[in-house]
Amino acid sequence: MSEHTSFPIRHWSEDDRPREKLMLKGKTALSDAELIAILIGSGSRNETAVGLGQRILSSVNYNLNALGKLSIAQLTSFKGIGEAKAIAIMAAMELSRRRRSEEVPERPRISSSRSIFEMMQPLIGELPHEEFWIIYLNNANKVISKTQLSKGGITGTLVDVRLVFKTALEMGATAIILCHNHPSGALKPSDADRHITRKLKTAGENLDIKILDHVIVTESAWFSFADEGMI
């Protein structure tokens, strides 16, 4: 075999392929060259996409800021990089620059049932039908995400416990808050409300994910399971 010949990425073990590696291990597990390989898709007959990425990085002393300043002409001077691949690299570098220039929005912090009500009332407080939402929190009780779980009513069959905690694990959430509305304006929790709360709390205990509260929201008021010592 010639010293210049290399195995195409499709012949590598799955763990070594950039796309598969990202799926299996997450984006932070990839090197800069592997990320570039995903952008350009393929190398040449004698060079893998990863090898080509390494060669491009080497030309700028592995400095991503310097890479972002390369022109289309400079990028296409590398064998295996045509105009389309050069544009893909430039677009990725520009997105990175724009991301750095934007301020990271502060995540709202849940400090009380009132803060839950103020967050959720504009979303569900005045709806003519019931909706059940999950608020996912990090270990500082800051909101990672708010997700609608069901719409139109609350029964045990509409609450997919596995989906709730699958999402929590994917997001790295350490706690969740349950929230739904009562279009009737009544604040008293139903038997179904209590049952769902117990069911999710038990499942969360097994995964070390806390159910901090279950809040019932109406147009102008709320009921908190935590405030009432029911959770």
CA distances from 40 to 18, 32, 88, 120 (A): 11, 13, 7, 43
pLDDT for 191 equals 92
**How is domain 113-224 classified at the architecture level of CATH?**
3-Layer(aba) Sandwich (3.40)
What are the residue boundaries of the structural domains of the chain, listed by start? Answer: 9-101, 113-224
pLDDT per residue as tens digits for the range 101-143: 776 667 888 999 999 999 999 999 999 989 999 999 999 999 9
According to the model, what pLDDT value does residue 40 have?
94
Average pLDDT (68-93) is 95
Question: Is the model's pLDDT at 14 over the cut of 70?
Answer: no
Q: Is 50 exceeded by the pLDDT of residue 2?
A: no
Instruction: Give the strands of the sheet with 143-151, arranged side by side.
Output: 143-151, 131-137, 175-181, 210-217, 222-224
Looking at per-residue confidence, does 30 or 103 come out higher?
30
Q: Is the pLDDT of residue 83 over 90?
A: yes
Name which of 166, 165, 200 is nearest 180 in CA terms.
200
Higher pLDDT, residue 151 or 55: 55
User: Mind listing the pLDDT tens digit for each residue in 177-220?
Assistant: 999 999 999 999 999 899 999 999 999 998 999 999 999 999 99
pLDDT at position 12: 52
Q: With H, G, I as helix, E, B as strand and everything else as coil, classify residue 178.
A: strand
Cut 0.85: pTM above it: no
Residues recorded for the chain: 231
CA distance 59 to 69: 12
